[in-house]
Structure 1
Amino acid sequence: MNEFVAAIIFIIIFIIFNNLNTKIRKLEKEISDLNDKINTPPLAQTEAIHKKATTEETFIPQQEESHQVYHEKIKNSEESEKGPTSLQKDWLTPVSDFLKQNILTIIGIFTLVLGIGYFVKYAIDKNWIGEAARAGIGFCTGAGIIITGHFLRKNYPAFSSIITGGGIAVLYFTATIAFREYHLFTQNTAFIITALITAASIILSYYYKSEVLIIFSLIGGFAAPLMISSGQSNYLFLFIYITLLNTGMLAASFLQHWKSVGWTAYIFTTGYLLLWTNESPELLSITFYLISYVIFYIFALHDYFRKNILATSDILILALANFSSILGLLYIFDTLKYEPQIIFPLIFAAVNTVLLFREYTRKSFGITYSVFAGLVTSLITVAIAIQFKTHLITSIWAIETTLLLFIWKKTGHKIFKIFFYILFPFVMIAQLITWTAYFGTKDFNIIFNAPFITSSFTIISIIINLYLLRNTAKEPQGKDRNFFEDLITVVSYGVIYITFLLEITYQISEMPWSAITSTGLLFSIYYIFVLLLFRKLLSLRNDVQNILIYLFYFLIVINTSVSTLSLVADILTKKLHVSFYFFHLFQWIPFLYIGYRIIPSSTFHKQWISYWIQSLAIIISVSCELHHSYILMTSSDLSHSYTASAHFNILYLPVIWTILASLFIYTGLKKNIQEYNKIGFALIGVMVLKLYGYDVWQMDNISRISAFIVLGVILLLSSFTFQRLKNMIRNMVDKKDKTEESKD
């Protein structure tokens, strides 16, 4: 009953489709006739137009010609100003247009193949056909679809290519199922059948001149070994087949100039090679790496030798072919412990040097010269990195990011920058893995160790990247682009910081924790100091400078308060020498320089809170530094330090705060900055509350008398100084007013 209903539905659909097809043909004929009428003007109108054109040519031929030349010059100049970027602007447009126009066809052929598959499965479940008949139905169906595409190729070329590709897919899947599920023939026979399908599909692609069809054919050809695989790794046989397939690809791309064909072959070939390298690295695979390198280099340089140009896709495949080949070859040498490992980067560098020298002798220093120069420099850098025993993937990826960014700057093709954005996160992941080598290893030399040398190459790459990205602010760019570049910049500076911090902490890891913490904080302080010192060279924005200054003061406070206190305790318990404390005092060099030279020339003081943060950092740092120095001078061990600390806090700290408050008020009056006045009086208020609310009850009589006398004298002297300063300012204002009046 179900079969009868299905047959009726199929007949109804066929009748409806046939009627629609007839109506569409009639409509096409009517539209064609209407276009002929519109495009064919009456005889009188044609003669009038011809006469008018003749008259115009008779009277103003010279003027018309001059206008035409003028407009052509303007057009040519505009095109030259747009540069290569405008020519390569919408590189995804052909793909997008193809999908928009043919998406229904693609979905339709896919649905048809599935429908046939489900029908065959249904027939199998009903025991209508045997295994051999099933395979025969599959081959006949695939052939029928290909024949249908053949008859449609003249009027509907794109539709025909997709239909034919679907038929080829049916043939591939039929051969696979017949071998793997039904065991109708041996693996060798199955391979011969799939190879014949691939050869026939490539011949059809060339005959139809269909780029879409040959891509279908290549995908099927590269997938065929997986389809008929029996689980045994016969890589020699596999790569002989892939080499022959790539040779056919190369011939087809030369004859028809199909770039997508080469890219399809490159992606599959590289995948197979890396799979082989990872599963069973052996010397035999080196031969096929080199053969594939030559094939894809010839493919990429086809237009270069014919027309002396390098398209965007050619440049990209040159870069990827070099670095993917080096990655696999060096991995094989490293795994098998062969030397010298730098031979392959140097060989590839020599190949590109020949091309670079060719451009140099022709005095051509354009995009092509820059590409080959970038490749040669990158490959030599990789060779140096490998010679220093760096981590392979990290170094190669880092150098490749710089190459991509360099080519983008030289050509203006955005595709290289997009690939840079894609590869950069992988470099960061590889760098994180590189840093893990520090943990669990205790015999690394200072600086000359694999993690640090690898990180050094990453840092060099990052510095070049930052230099190349620095000028992009001059270009029109959106918020997303700004975000990515800012993120890359922040991450890059973070990588540089973490690299040196890990190396320093690793080399002093045997010291007490207080020494490690203090050294790490001191390095952090100097790192920010260097960034601020070279802020103009690094093109740091004002908001970034302000954030760095806030962070700098925060680290200063942490280092002088918490970290140095632990340092003093370890010095008193003889875990550290007292000289380590003097090493810690080097933090005051950047502290004073930033306060006196960098902040006055920055926008840091545009907000009132910045004055308070800077003043708070000064108060805490000075107070803690004098406190720690006093303890070291007066205490012989840790138990005596508690008494000395309490004595300092009660007797000397109010005096220090009073002096600092006086300095703040003096500075505020002198520079007419109200915030400093507020800070000074606030500090005096805190000091008075501390003195009268707590300290006075903890002192003996002599200390109490001494504290009050000293504080009283300081306050009186400060008050007298302020009065003098006020008088001086008033006198200066009066003199200025009198001078202006006398001039009037």
Structure 2
Amino acid sequence: MNEYLAVILIVVIAIIFNNLNTKIRKLEKEVSDLTLRINKKTIHPEHPQEETPSEEIIIQPQESVHEPHREVITPHESKENTQRDWLNPVFEFLKQNILTVIGIFTLVLGIGYFVKYAIDKNWIGETTRAGIGLCTGTAIILAGHFLRKNYQTFASIITGGGIAVLYFTTTITFREYHLFSQNTAFIITSVITAVAIILSYYYRSEVLIIFSLIGGFTAPLMISSGENNYLFLFTYLTLLNIGMLAVAFLKHWKSVGWTAYIFTSIYLFYWTVDLPELLSIVFYLINYIIFYIFALYHYFRKNELSVPDILMLALVNFSSIIGLTYIFNELQYEPVIIFPLIFASVNSILLFREYGKRNFGIPFSIFTGITISLITIAVALQFKTHLITSVWAIEATLLLFIWKKTSHKIFKTCFYVLFPLVILAQFITWCEYFNASNLSIIFNPIFLTSLVTIVSIGINLYLLKNTSEKTETGTHSFFEDLITTASYGVIYAAILFEIIYHINTMTWIAIASVALLYSIYYIFILLFFRKKLSIPQFLQTGLIYVFFSLIIVNISITTSSVVTDILSKQLQNNFYLLHFLQWIPFIFLSLKIIPDTKFHQSKISYWVISLAFIISISCELRHLYVMTSAHDIVDSYAVKNHFNILYLPIIWTILASIFIYIGLRKNIQEYNKVGFGLIGLMVLKLYGYDVWQMDNISRISAFIALGVILLLSSFTFQRLKNIIKNMVDTKEKNKKNEES
């Protein structure tokens, strides 16, 4: 009963569709006739109207009012619009034909479910099943053939669905029913692919040939028996790519080449990882030639390179380098730099061709960038750097360089995608420090890889600085700021890990001390050259805060532990001199660099500087006192306690006086608050704790010294206030005299 209902439903749908199709054809004819009549009236008006002067007076203002604003579009703006809308045809195709694609996919699934139902009911045998599938696919192709004149795109999708049915039928017949051998199945799929390509060329349908190529490239997977017969597979793929190249040249279809390149690359990389052998090198080179010719087709015809052409050139070169170099490394052949140099030579020929014509446009820049990148990769590989990290770093820089030369934003977008992968690959490279032993200084594979990344990042920062895009608020874009910050972080980490590796035999506190000192100088160098490096303002402010935080941690915690290790004879006495180097950037930054930045826009900045200065001076003097007075660790505890009780209040009082003096002199209220707050803290400490720990002599000495300091400070402040008051009064008198 259900079967009869299904048949009746199909017949009803067919009748309805036929009626709708007839009405649509009539409507199309009426619209066509109406359009033709309108065009005739526009070209040959039957009754031209005579315009009166009054009509002119009325019409002209209306035309001027309602006339749309015409913007003058420069060639540059037109080019940018073209670049921005290069994906529009794809989205437009999907928008207009998505229902057709879903419909043919649903139809194929429906046929499949019907056949499965028939099989479950034992209505048909295996041979009949295969025949039904082949006939159904052929019928769908014929339906597309008859519809191609009026509905070309729809017919192409229909035909592609029919080809898919033929592919799947052949696959199931071979795998499940075993009605013919693998060779027969391969011949059938090859014939289907050839017929599909011929139909695509005959119908002039780019959509259909993409369906055909997808079927052609997936056919080996469909009829695979599990054996790795790569020679047979890639001979077939090479012939398929040659056919693709011929069709692409005849019809100028870019999507055909990209489809073939993606599938071929997947197959090649799988072969390379699964079974690296010399035979695969031959097919790498063959496919390099095929796709390089494909990428340069328009260049030799029109002497120009489009966005897809440039992307193809970059990807073909770098993907081939990765695969070929991996094979050489796995098979331990030398020299690994032969392929980068060969590819660089190929690109250099095109480079000199452009140079000979004195044509220094986009093609010249592209060939220059690719050639230099390949030579750089060859040098990096010669020094045994890590392949993926080096290639990705150089390729990211090449993409950014191409974006600068062509202004095609797709290359900058690709750079944004690839740059995080470069950082990830670099982190994986750094992890090898944990298992490495006896690495030479600088000239080791890990750091040389980092050096390649550092150089490429330096070029990236230079290119971003000179092609910086700003937002409406005048600030850099988010991605540029993020990449800038990450770039400086990668450079910092690369040098830091190399230093730590070579001093890892020292005590942990010595390693931490060296690492902190390096960090302080690294930040200082960035801030010193902040203008030349075009470091964003937010990053400058952040670096200053980090700088003072590192100063506080280093001198209060790390240096204290260093003193302890020196007293316990774990470190030499001269190691203590190392941390004195931090005072050079500390003083220079405070006096020269910070006044030239916007760091003091926030009031908390004054407190951060004051805190760093107070802690640094206090801890430094305590370390010196302990180093000169204590003989061992046990003795150091009493020395530290004596310093904290007797000398620290005096130091804080002097520092408080200095802050208050600077605050009054420069009219900075925050320094006044710091000074008086420090005096309050000192008084609480003195009367709440220190007095009860001192002997009589020390107590008397402390009170006398503090009293004298406070009196002198008070006298100085009073004099300073009077001087300032006299200066203000003098200015007011002069102003009044000038007015009178």
- Using the size of structure 1 for normalisation, the TM-score is 0.94
Deviation (angstroms), 1:567: 0.7
Partner residue of 1:716 out of 711, 719, 722: 711
Deviation (angstroms), 1:726: 2.2
> What is aligned with 1:14?
14
Matched to 1:2, the amino acid is N
> What is aligned with 1:667?
662
Distance 1:662 1:173, change over 3 A: same
Matched to 1:546, the amino acid is T
Deviation (angstroms), 1:126: 0.9
Deviation (angstroms), 1:718: 1.4
Deviation (angstroms), 1:102: 0.8
**Which moved further from structure 2: 397-406 or 601-610?**
601-610
Matched to 2:400, the amino acid is L
Matched to 1:320, the amino acid is L
- Using the size of structure 2 for normalisation, the TM-score is 0.95
Classify the secondary structure of the residue corresponding to 2:688: helix
Residues 624-649 of structure 1: per-residue CA shift (max 9 Å, x gap): 11111111111111000000000000
Deviation (angstroms), 1:707: 0.6
Deviation (angstroms), 1:442: 2.6
> What is aligned with 1:297?
292
Deviation (angstroms), 1:80: 2.5
Preserved CA contact (<8 Å) 1:402 1:465: yes
2:538 and 2:155 mapped to 1: Cα distance?
60
Residue 200 in structure 1 maps to residue 195 in structure 2: yes
**Which moved further from structure 2: 123-132 or 478-487?**
478-487
1:239 and 1:481 mapped to 2: Cα distance?
49
Aligned pairs (5 A) from 1:304-315: 304-315=299-310
Partner residue of 2:92 out of 79, 93, 97: 97
> What is aligned with 1:36?
36
Partner residue of 1:581 out of 571, 576, 586: 576
2:46 and 2:437 mapped to 1: Cα distance?
94
> What is aligned with 1:60?
none
1:284 and 1:477 mapped to 2: Cα distance?
56
Preserved CA contact (<8 Å) 2:653 2:678: yes
> What is aligned with 1:622?
617
Deviation (angstroms), 1:729: 2.2
Residues 46-82 of structure 1: per-residue CA shift (max 9 Å, x gap): 4859x99xxxxxxxxxxxxxxxxxxxxx99x844332
> What is aligned with 1:68?
none
Aligned pairs (5 A) from 1:39-50: 39-41=39-41, 45-46=45-46, 48=48
2:470 and 2:145 mapped to 1: Cα distance?
51
> What is aligned with 1:697?
692
1:247 and 1:448 mapped to 2: Cα distance?
45
Preserved CA contact (<8 Å) 1:85 1:411: no
Aligned pairs (5 A) from 1:75-224: 78-82=73-77, 84-224=79-219
2:546 and 2:42 mapped to 1: Cα distance?
83
Distance 1:531 1:286, change over 3 A: same
Residue 519 in structure 1 maps to residue 514 in structure 2: yes
> What is aligned with 2:27?
27
Distance 1:522 1:98, change over 3 A: same
1:615 and 1:702 mapped to 2: Cα distance?
32
Aligned pairs (5 A) from 1:68-467: 78-82=73-77, 84-467=79-462
Residues 554-606 of structure 1: per-residue CA shift (max 9 Å, x gap): 11000011111111111111000111111011110110001100111111112
2:336 and 2:647 mapped to 1: Cα distance?
67
1:84 and 1:27 mapped to 2: Cα distance?
39
2:228 and 2:74 mapped to 1: Cα distance?
54
Matched to 2:241, the amino acid is N
Preserved CA contact (<8 Å) 2:196 2:209: yes
> What is aligned with 2:3?
3
Preserved CA contact (<8 Å) 1:113 1:166: yes
Partner residue of 2:603 out of 583, 608, 624: 608
Deviation (angstroms), 1:735: 3.5
Matched to 2:377, the amino acid is V
Residues 186-231 of structure 1: per-residue CA shift (max 9 Å, x gap): 1111111101111111111111111111111111000000100000
Deviation (angstroms), 1:303: 0.7
Partner residue of 1:599 out of 571, 594, 597: 594
1:245 and 1:477 mapped to 2: Cα distance?
51
Percent identical: 67
Deviation (angstroms), 1:13: 1.7
Deviation (angstroms), 1:741: 4.4
> What is aligned with 2:731?
736
Deviation (angstroms), 1:45: 2.8
Partner residue of 2:463 out of 435, 460, 468: 468
Preserved CA contact (<8 Å) 2:614 2:655: yes
1:514 and 1:45 mapped to 2: Cα distance?
96
Preserved CA contact (<8 Å) 2:485 2:539: no
2:21 and 2:290 mapped to 1: Cα distance?
47
Deviation (angstroms), 1:83: 6.2
Deviation (angstroms), 1:434: 0.2
Residues 244-285 of structure 1: per-residue CA shift (max 9 Å, x gap): 000000000001100100000110111111000000000010
Distance 1:42 1:266, change over 3 A: closer
Distance 1:44 1:605, change over 3 A: closer
Distance 1:691 1:183, change over 3 A: same
Preserved CA contact (<8 Å) 1:385 1:457: yes
Matched to 2:339, the amino acid is F
Classify the secondary structure of the residue corresponding to 2:622: helix
Matched to 1:23, the amino acid is K
**Which moved further from structure 2: 658-667 or 730-739?**
730-739
Classify the secondary structure of the residue corresponding to 1:330: helix
Deviation (angstroms), 1:471: 3.7
> What is aligned with 1:542?
537
Deviation (angstroms), 1:174: 0.6
Matched to 1:555, the amino acid is L
2:26 and 2:296 mapped to 1: Cα distance?
50
RMSD value, Cα: 1.9
Deviation (angstroms), 1:21: 2.1
Preserved CA contact (<8 Å) 1:84 1:411: no
Classify the secondary structure of the residue corresponding to 2:104: helix
1:715 and 1:93 mapped to 2: Cα distance?
78
Classify the secondary structure of the residue corresponding to 1:128: coil
Matched to 1:718, the amino acid is S
Classify the secondary structure of the residue corresponding to 1:213: helix
Residues 520-555 of structure 1: per-residue CA shift (max 9 Å, x gap): 111111111111111111212323212111111111
Distance 1:401 1:210, change over 3 A: same
> What is aligned with 2:681?
686
> What is aligned with 2:631?
636
> What is aligned with 2:490?
495
Preserved CA contact (<8 Å) 2:552 2:616: yes
**Which moved further from structure 2: 392-401 or 500-509?**
500-509
2:596 and 2:311 mapped to 1: Cα distance?
45
Distance 1:645 1:195, change over 3 A: same
Preserved CA contact (<8 Å) 1:84 1:413: no
Deviation (angstroms), 1:44: 7.8
1:647 and 1:450 mapped to 2: Cα distance?
52
1:170 and 1:481 mapped to 2: Cα distance?
53
Matched to 2:37, the amino acid is K
Classify the secondary structure of the residue corresponding to 2:177: coil
Preserved CA contact (<8 Å) 1:665 1:681: yes
2:184 and 2:630 mapped to 1: Cα distance?
92
**Which moved further from structure 2: 708-717 or 722-731?**
722-731
1:25 and 1:441 mapped to 2: Cα distance?
76
> What is aligned with 1:676?
671
Deviation (angstroms), 1:17: 1.9
1:640 and 1:430 mapped to 2: Cα distance?
51
Deviation (angstroms), 1:477: 7.1
